[in-house]
Structure 1
Amino acid sequence: MSSIVVQAFITLDGVVQAPGGPEEDTEGGFEYGGWQTSYVGGDDDGAIIMEWESKTEALLLGRRTYEIFAGAWGVWDENAAGFEGELTRRYNRVPKYVASRTLTEVGWKNSFLLGPDVPAAVETLRAQPGGEIRVWGSGQLISTLAEHDLVDEYRLVIYPLVLGTGKKLFPDGFPYTRLALAESRALASGVVINIYQRSDAS
């Protein structure tokens, strides 16, 4: 059986929109794109992400996140040094499963559309032998997965920052979810990494 693992860079007020760059996602007039980048390089969070990504056997993405990833990891140089090259090689190799109501084809190699019944398709993927199926971004998709109890783990990299606006990982109306804290560690920058897994408690 595979595991559905949601990973997110998230602020103290729960915002996950556009951590990586100014133009990553400006929907709703969001002006703080790239908020995560000022914390990069001063800690071991990059090594932690690489450790996590070494376990990625597939990506599960919503349409917008797929297009962002395909326009970045899908075209970057696999021979680049360090973090960029390693992730580019891995993301090109693994299958990418895309939830979309509008796309009719996907051009990034090893990419597949899930079809109209996303929960059923994901349940089938999850039931197959394998490792971690990674979800980045994809807020609407995460809500759908949570509604059908298909998320096994949330890995949250929490930044000591309040933006006051932006898309949230757990917005109003998110399905009731009870989790157990599996691991927590604080970095020198003030960033806290919390890993939550599904709880047997109701």
Structure 2
Amino acid sequence: MSTVVVQAFITLDGVVQAGGGPDEDREGGFEHGGWQAGYDDGDIVGEWESRTEALLLGRKTYEIFARSWGVWDENAEGLLGELTRRYNRIPKYVASRTLTEFGWKNSQLLGPDVPAAVKQLRSEPGGEIRIWGSTQLVRTLAEHDLIDEYRLVVYPLVLGTGKKLFGDGFPFSRLSLAESRALPSGILINIYRRSDAG
């Protein structure tokens, strides 16, 4: 059985929008893109991504990733090259009602019944299926109890605006804290699992 894992860089007020760069996602007039800059989150991404066997992405996040990881140099030094190689190699499953063609290799559409498709993926052997961003997809999967773990990198920052991971109307979810650690930069790393996931 595979495990569906949501990873998110998140502010204290729950915002997950455009942490990586100023033009990553300006939807809704968002002006705080790149809010992660200036914080040291250690090598947590490298550690976690070494276990990623597939990506599960909503359309918008897929397009952001395809424009970056899908075209960057696989021979780049360090984590950039390592993640580019990994992301190009593994399957990418995309939830979309509008995309019909995929330029990024190993990408495929989940189909019209996203929860059923993810349930099937989850039932197969294969390790960790990683979700980045994709707040609408996360909400849909939470409504069908298809998320096994949330890995949250919490930044000591309040933005007051932006897309939230757990917005109003998010389904009731009982979670257990599996791990928590603080970094010298003030970032907290919290890992939550479904309370019945052990």
Q: Number of aligned residue pairs: give it.
A: 197
Root mean square deviation, CA, Å? 0.9
Q: Which residue of 1 aligns with 2:156?
A: 160
Q: State whether structure 2 residue 130 is matched by structure 1 residue 117.
A: no
Q: Which residue of 1 aligns with 2:123?
A: 127
Q: State whether structure 2 residue 6 is matched by structure 1 residue 6.
A: yes
In 2: Cα distance, 1:37 partner to 1:66 partner: 22
Any residues of structure 2 matched to 1:80-159 within 5 Å, and which? Answer: 80-159=76-155
The amino acid across from 1:14 in the alignment is: G
Q: Which of the numbers 175, 182, 188 marks the counterpart of 2:184? A: 188
User: What secondary structure, in the 3-state scheme, does the structure 2 residue paired with 1:38 have?
Assistant: coil
Shift of 1:188: 0.2
The amino acid across from 2:9 in the alignment is: F
In 2: Cα distance, 1:51 partner to 1:29 partner: 33
Shift of 1:62: 0.1
Q: State whether structure 2 residue 16 is matched by structure 1 residue 16.
A: yes
Q: Which of the numbers 190, 196, 199 marks the counterpart of 2:195? A: 199
Shift of 1:200: 2.6
Deviations 1:88-108 (A, max 9, x none): 000000000000011112110
The amino acid across from 1:35 in the alignment is: W
In 2: Cα distance, 1:46 partner to 1:192 partner: 11
The amino acid across from 2:103 in the alignment is: G
In 2: Cα distance, 1:15 partner to 1:192 partner: 15
User: What secondary structure, in the 3-state scheme, does the structure 2 residue paired with 1:20 have?
Assistant: coil
In 2: Cα distance, 1:63 partner to 1:126 partner: 20
In 2: Cα distance, 1:126 partner to 1:164 partner: 35
User: What secondary structure, in the 3-state scheme, does the structure 2 residue paired with 1:158 have?
Assistant: strand
**TM-score of the superposed pair, with normalisation by structure 2:** 0.98
The amino acid across from 1:12 in the alignment is: L
Which aligned segments of 4 or more residues in structure 1 are displaced greater than 2 angstroms? none
Q: State whether structure 2 residue 49 is matched by structure 1 residue 53.
A: yes
The amino acid across from 2:180 in the alignment is: S
Shift of 1:48: 1.6
Gap regions ≥5 residues in structure 2: none
